[in-house]
Amino acid sequence: MLQVEMNVEEHVRSILRSIGEDPDREGLQKTPSRVVEALSFLTRGYRQDPEEIFNGALFTEDYEEMIVQRDIDFFSLCEHHILPFFGKAHVAYIPHRKIVGVSKLARLVDVYARRLQVQERLTNQIASTIMDQLKPLGVAVVIEAEHLCMRMRGVEKQNSMIITSTLLGAFRNRQETRAEFMNLIRKSI
């Protein structure tokens, strides 16, 4: 076991004691190692390079119409409370001589979602990486998410949805392009 993992486990044991629990009782004995394993899984995006997602999956194609991948499920952790937020990402781009394999957009969402995040940054990171890597005519990202830090604590508002967007290139500059994207991601399709 790595020294870092042992330190984190000891901190988890300390947290359990501080809330009045006995970390040595049967149900909690393995909790510190489970927390380490869960945190490692939920933050694996730090160990992934977003730019490598596109390596080997960029293709030259004479296609300059909108490509949309809608309803990409994701899970993330709010950096303020380390509580989950989750929802759907909708990603679009208008290629300029380069397209990317269809699974790569969803993989990119996961790389950034599997870090401590705020939804606004997550939205920007996805759009900026696509813009930098593909050099398309435009990129649009809309994220709809529920935040457990708002449901379980604080204002305790159930059924509240946060929506963020980043629009670059043609999606920002052309109202009709933006409108087409918004129409395509509506649930009625």
**Residues with catalytic function:** 78-81, 119, 147, 149
Instruction: Round to whole Å and give the CA distance between 134 and 116.
Output: 26
- Identify the three-state secondary structure at position 129: helix
Sign of torsion, CA 173 176 180 186?
positive
Phi, psi of 96 (to 5 degrees): -135, 85
Instruction: Round to whole Å and give the CA distance between 39 and 5.
Output: 10
Q: Is-contact 90 72, C-beta < 8 A?
A: yes
- Identify the three-state secondary structure at position 105: helix
Instruction: Round to whole Å and give the CA distance between 84 and 148.
Output: 6
| Cα dihedral 16/19/24/27 (nearest 10) | -80
For Cα atoms 166, 172, 173, give the angle at the middle one, nearest 5 degrees.
170
